[in-house]
Amino acid sequence: MKTISLGVVMDPIGEVHVHKDTTMALLLEAQRRVYQLFYFEQTDLFLQNGIAYGSGRALTVYDREKDWYTLSPRETICLADLDIILMRKDPPVDKTFIETTYILESAERQGVRVLNKPQSLRDANEKVFATQFPQCTPETMVTSQHVLLKMFLQQHKKIVCKPLDGMGGRSIFLVESHDANVNVIFDTLTKSQTQNMMVQAYIPDIVKGDKRIILINGKPHPFCLARVPGEGEWRGNLAAGAKGVVQPLSDRDKWICDQVGPTLQEKGLFFVGLDVIGDYLTEVNVTSPTGVRELDASVAGSIKIVDAFFDALHH
């Protein structure tokens, strides 16, 4: 039986937080299944005469807090010689990220399976993509125009303001109509009305947590991770100090997944994390969704996400 080769494109592996890193969870499971692992950073990838290559290193991973990986010497690898490539680079989706998707798309044309699909990583901005499902989202606007932003604030009284390229709760503001900093927040996020930002109506249910729901090939895992804001905080992000609480999906959560799942399948977005607050979809995370370590550690008797991921790969 042929050994399956899996390449991963990710942030520097020496800088990950092992105990909560989803990419590490996937790599550990792949290794348990005797996949051969190869490690790349974005700058390792290149095109030569239309062929996609990477200066890669064979990778071994260990589930421990220190010395959690070893890398073999570099070798030039034709990416099409790999069976699967996981694109797990964290946002921002900047110029380098976009250029990486071009190289991965070339590798995909040459026969390797790339997850998530490179074109869809470009197409599906994690904030704007949610607006394709208005039946699921709170009242939302994307604009650079201060006059429209102020009208939205006047209508809703309390709103959440986000840059379109952020992650982990960074540069997200909760704004109320009497806030003296409204103009400077709008000016900062739009870079003086030259860049779009997103505003959404505030959802009071954030106090119960911002739910992360994992979908594999369009199908949801039956449990979600509710990230409950910490003391004196309103953002439901683990990176902002929120506490993770595992809970089963509600009927509304399942309905939202039914609305979104077919589009994810169609676009080749195999591994996705939905953010749901109360009854509303707020974001669709497609670049490097997290939460797997916490979910798999907490749910007894359920199929682990890492198992479901690799089982789905081969069906």
**Could you tell me if 254 and 217 lie in one domain?**
yes
Residues 6+ apart with CB under 8 A from 87: 9, 100, 101, 104, 114, 115, 116, 118, 121, 287
Is position 231 annotated as part of the catalytic site? Answer: no
pLDDT score, position 301: 67
Determine, yes or no, domain membership for 276: yes
Q: Which two tokens stand for residue 240?
A: 């902002």
pLDDT score, position 239: 66
The single residue of 235, 253, 267, 293 carrying the catalytic annotation is 235
Determine, yes or no, domain membership for 132: no
The single residue of 285, 293, 294, 296 carrying the catalytic annotation is 285
The CATH number given to whatever domain includes residue 144 is 3.30.1490.20
Q: Which of 166, 184, 202 is the last residue of a domain?
A: 202
**Could you tell me if 257 and 222 lie in one domain?**
yes
Determine, yes or no, domain membership for 245: yes
Is position 122 annotated as part of the catalytic site? Answer: no
Sign of CA dihedral 134, 194, 161, 88: positive
Is position 33 annotated as part of the catalytic site? Answer: no
- Find the helix packing angle between 305-313 and 22-32, rounded to 10°: 60
Return per-residue pLDDT of the chain as tens, 315 residues: 789 999 999 999 999 999 999 999 999 999 999 999 999 999 999 999 999 999 999 999 999 999 999 999 999 999 999 999 999 999 989 999 999 999 999 999 999 999 999 999 999 999 999 999 999 999 999 999 999 999 999 999 999 999 998 776 678 999 999 999 999 999 999 999 999 999 999 999 999 999 999 999 999 999 999 998 877 676 766 666 678 899 999 999 999 999 999 999 999 999 999 999 999 999 999 999 999 999 999 876 678 999 999 999 987
Q: What is the pTM of this model?
A: 0.93
Determine, yes or no, domain membership for 134: no
pLDDT score, position 237: 67
The CATH number given to whatever domain includes residue 231 is 3.30.470.20
The single residue of 88, 212, 267, 293 carrying the catalytic annotation is 212
**Could you tell me if 88 and 106 lie in one domain?**
yes
Is position 275 annotated as part of the catalytic site? Answer: yes
Is position 158 annotated as part of the catalytic site? Answer: no
**Could you tell me if 104 and 183 lie in one domain?**
no
**Could you tell me if 215 and 283 lie in one domain?**
yes
The CATH number given to whatever domain includes residue 26 is 3.40.50.20
**Could you tell me if 110 and 144 lie in one domain?**
no
**Could you tell me if 17 and 36 lie in one domain?**
yes
pLDDT score, position 242: 74
**Could you tell me if 146 and 229 lie in one domain?**
no
Determine, yes or no, domain membership for 131: no
Is position 67 annotated as part of the catalytic site? Answer: no
The single residue of 29, 41, 275, 294 carrying the catalytic annotation is 275
Q: Which of 202, 217, 236 is the last residue of a domain?
A: 202
Domain limits at 221? 205-313
**Could you tell me if 211 and 269 lie in one domain?**
yes
Three-state secondary structure call for residue 116? coil
pLDDT score, position 127: 94
Residues β-bridged to residue 46: 53
Determine, yes or no, domain membership for 222: yes
Is position 227 annotated as part of the catalytic site? Answer: yes
Q: Which of 202, 230, 245 is the last residue of a domain?
A: 202
d(CA 279, CA 175): 21
Is position 285 annotated as part of the catalytic site? Answer: yes
**Could you tell me if 60 and 97 lie in one domain?**
yes
pLDDT score, position 167: 72
Determine, yes or no, domain membership for 130: no
- The tally of domains found in the chain comes to 3
Determine, yes or no, domain membership for 133: no
**Could you tell me if 17 and 109 lie in one domain?**
yes
**Could you tell me if 101 and 144 lie in one domain?**
no
